[in-house]
Structures are given as structure tokens and as C-alpha cells.
């Protein structure tokens, strides 16, 4: 029906930074997309910008049910239980995905409602410290990692495989890299490279602020960059870290052990933090090597350095291929 090969319309619930940007990109690719937003102001702004938007959740879900749309829950975590219950009532046969940054908590709500055969988890690693429809824009997902979960894949129904395939198509349609990862592995990974980063940024911001005017006056680019995400609204940081607490705590413990070792090395008669400095530098070199081909390119065209695996969903061995891609942090395409 469109140039993206999506087999169904897309119905987005929540038109904030992620949901709004997704709607803009899909519409730009001529995908049949419509959405719901609770806030009247944002819905009006989206409508005035030419998008197909409603503030009536029930009517939107009934429409999704009638045209067999895929529903994207693009709200923060706290709204998910209410949305799932509304979907069960008004769109009982639609496939569902989401964009919540923590996947075990969402999957737990899905399993409580026995919706596993209708649900594929998603998480686009994109965004800014801003939020809301007014912050949404086209192109935000270009070459961003967009995790797609596959815990339900072994022995899944044809219906689920078709849904999973359409989620991949949607991800690729907006220019993102589709990265398969099981719920627990996703949550452990983002605890390391996102949630801990937030905890550290808050801490640095507070300690720097404690230094008063002189310290703040001397703060330069390294302090600014390292505390940038402390500008994220506290409720969003809480939603991420608290919902993923089970994965954040062991990662925070790893960090605390390194920091206590550093402290012990600094209180010696001859301070020596070579162990931390050298391990950190080596880790950074590996990160840069891995990411060298993306983001920092001098070319205006963003490219990706993630390994690519092409697979055919539902065929024998495809779960093994997904596990292989997951282990490599690789992206997938379908054929």
C-alpha cells in the first residue's frame, strides 16, 4: 500500500517528541498514519500542521480496529496500563508496539493481560532533553538505534511474525537501524549506556553547583557536556531509572566499585589512578572505533557502522539469527 511495504496503517497513541516525530516521518513517506493525543493544544497544533489527529481515544481505537492498524503506544510508562486496557476493549485484534525506554516493565503488563501474541516491544534511542509535539521533527531517527524485542519469537504464530515484520518495516521507514534484543538484555544495556549516564549527570551537576559561583564560572565544555542530560525533566529520569531499577543497581555497583578504587588510589601517599585512567581511555578508544563511521562523519549523509544481518522472519533458524544480531549489536533487514 505504500513505498515502505507496510501491510497496515499506523495508529500512534501520544504525539510527544517520539510519537510526533514518528508521525511526521511516516507521513513524509506516505504511510497511512493517524493518531491520538490527550492534550488538546498539542492535538490542535498537529492537526493545524496537516496531520490526522484526534483527542478521542475510544474513537481512535475503534478506527484502528476497523482498518486493522498497528498501534504504537508512544506515551511514557505511567500511561501504558490504561492504554493496554483501552486497546483490549476497543481494538481487540490490533497488533501493538511501543517506544518506552524500559522493556521488562512493559512486557510484564503485556503478559499480565495475555497479549504476548499481539505485542512487539520497541525502543528508539533518539531524542533530546526537550519533549512534547512542539519538539518533534522529521529525521530524528536517522541512523538511530531502534530496539525491537523478540522474546515471543520461538514458536510464534504467523500473526505475530507478520506484526514483528511490520514493526521492522516501520523502523526502517523512518531511517532508523532495527536492533533485535530480548527484553532483559535491552534493559541491562540501556542501564549502562543511558540510565547510569543520567544518574552521573545529576550527581556532577549537584557537586558542581555546591562549588558556588567560582566553580560555576570556571566550568567549561567538559562540565557542560557531562551534565547536559541533567536538563532532562526529573519525572522522565525517574520513570527510566525507577522502572529499570533492577538493571540499574548492578551497573551502579560496578561504577561504585571503580570510584571507590579510584578514591583508594588517590588517598595513598603517592596517588596513582593509572588503572582507571588507562582502562577508561582504552574503553573510549574501542567506543570511538566502533562508532567511527557514524555520527562524526564529515559527510552530510549519516551512515552506520553497525553490522547488517538480513533475515526472513518466521523461517527456520531465524531466532538464532536474531540472537546473533543481538550479540553483535547488529541491525537487521528483512527479505
Applying the rule CB under 8 A, the residues between 161 and 200 that interact with a second copy are 179, 181, 185-186, 188-190, 192-194, 196-200
Q: CB of residue 53 vs a second copy: minimum separation in angstroms?
A: 28
Other CB atoms within a 10 A radius of the CB of residue 145 amount to: 20
Select the residue interacting with a second copy from 38, 137, 159, 291 (CB under 8 A). Answer: 291
Number of residues that bind a second copy (CB under 8 A): 101
Is 59 a binding residue for a second copy by CB under 8 A? The answer is no
Between 65 and 323, CB nearer to a second copy: 323
* Cα–Cα distance for residue pair 138/51, rounded to 1 Å: 13
Is 303 a binding residue for a second copy by CB under 8 A? The answer is no
At which residue does the C-alpha cell 503488563 appear? 109
Neighbouring residues of 201: CB distance < 8 A, sequence distance ≥ 6: 226, 227, 228, 229, 230
Site for a second copy in 206-225 (CB under 8 A): 206-225
Select the residue interacting with a second copy from 78, 263, 293, 297 (CB under 8 A). Answer: 263
At 148 the three-state DSSP class reads strand
The 8-class DSSP code of residue 34 comes to E
* Cα–Cα distance for residue pair 208/212, rounded to 1 Å: 8
The tally of CA atoms less than 13 A away on the side-chain side of residue 290 is 11
Between 37 and 149, CB nearer to a second copy: 149
Helices 183-190 and 104-112 cross at an angle (nearest 10°) of 150
* Cα–Cα distance for residue pair 192/283, rounded to 1 Å: 13
Site for a second copy in 115-134 (CB under 8 A): 125-126
Select the residue interacting with a second copy from 162, 258, 309, 319 (CB under 8 A). Answer: 258
Q: What is the DSSP string of 157-217?
A: -HHHHHHHHHHHHHHHHTT-EEEE--HHHHHHHHIIIIIHHHHHHHHHHHHHHHTHHHHHH
Q: CB of residue 63 vs a second copy: minimum separation in angstroms?
A: 34
Select the residue interacting with a second copy from 135, 205, 309, 334 (CB under 8 A). Answer: 205
Between 59 and 249, CB nearer to a second copy: 249
Q: CB of residue 66 vs a second copy: minimum separation in angstroms?
A: 37
End-to-end CA distance of the chain, in Å?
17
Select the residue interacting with a second copy from 132, 175, 314, 329 (CB under 8 A). Answer: 329
Q: CB of residue 157 vs a second copy: minimum separation in angstroms?
A: 27
Say if CB 11 and CB 64 are below 8 A apart. yes
Q: CB of residue 257 vs a second copy: minimum separation in angstroms?
A: 10
Is 81 a binding residue for a second copy by CB under 8 A? The answer is no
Site for a second copy in 218-257 (CB under 8 A): 218-235, 237-238, 241-242, 245, 248-249, 251-256
Between 126 and 311, CB nearer to a second copy: 126
Amino acid at each position: 500500500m505504500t513505498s515502505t511495504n507496510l501491510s497496515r496503517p499506523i495508529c500512534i497513541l501520544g504525539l510527544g517528541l517520539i510519537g510526533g516525530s514518528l508521525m511526521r516521518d511516516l507521513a513524509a513517506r506516505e504511510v497511512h498514519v493517524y493518531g491520538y493525543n490527550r492534550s488538546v493544544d498539542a492535538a490542535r497544533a498537529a492537526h493545524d500542521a496537516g496531520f490526522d489527529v484526534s483527542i478521542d481515544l475510544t474513537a481512535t481505537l475503534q478506527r484502528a480496529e476497523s482498518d486493522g492498524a498497528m498501534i504504537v503506544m508512544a506515551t511514557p510508562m505511567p500511561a501504558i496500563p490504561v492504554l493496554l486496557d483501552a486497546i483490549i476493549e476497543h481494538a481487540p485484534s490490533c497488533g501493538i508496539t511501543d517506544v518506552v525506554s524500559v522493556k521488562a516493565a512493559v512486557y510484564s503488563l503485556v503478559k499480565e493481560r495475555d497479549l504476548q501474541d499481539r505485542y512487539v516491544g520497541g525502543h528508539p534511542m533518539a531524542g533530546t532533553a526537550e519533549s512534547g509535539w512542539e519538539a518533534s521533527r522529521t529525521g530524528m531517527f536517522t541512523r538511530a538505534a531502534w530496539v525491537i524485542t523478540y522474546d515471543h519469537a520461538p514458536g510464534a504464530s504467523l500473526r505475530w511474525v507478520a506484526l514483528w515484520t511490520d514493526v521492522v518495516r516501520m523502523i526502517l521507514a523512518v531511517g532508523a537501524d532495527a536492533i533485535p534484543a530480548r527484553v532483559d538484555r535491552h534493559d541491562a544495556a540501556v542501564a549502562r549506556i543511558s540510565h547510569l549516564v543520567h544518574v552521573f549527570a545529576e550527581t556532577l551537576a549537584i557537586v558542581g553547583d555546591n562549588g558556588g559561583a567560582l566553580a560555576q564560572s570556571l566550568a567549561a565544555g567538559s562540565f557542560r557536556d557531562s551534565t547536559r542530560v541533567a536538563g532532562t525533566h526529573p519525572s522522565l529520569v525517574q520513570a527510566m531509572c525507577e522502572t529499570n531499577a533492577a538493571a540499574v543497581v548492578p551497573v551502579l555497583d560496578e561504577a561504585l566499585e571503580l570510584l571507590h578504587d579510584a578514591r583508594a588510589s588517590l588517598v595513598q601517599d603517592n596517588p596513582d589512578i593509572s588503572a582507571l585512567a588507562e582502562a577508561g581511555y582504552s574503553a573510549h578508544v574501542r567506543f570511538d572505533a566502533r562508532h567511527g563511521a557514524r555520527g562524526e562523519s564529515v559527510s552530510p549523509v549519516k551512515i552506520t557502522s553497525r553490522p547488517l544481518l538480513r533475515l526472513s522472519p518466521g523461517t527456520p533458524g531465524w531466532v538464532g539469527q536474531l540472537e546473533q544480531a543481538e550479540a553483535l549489536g547488529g541491525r537487521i533487514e528483512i527479505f
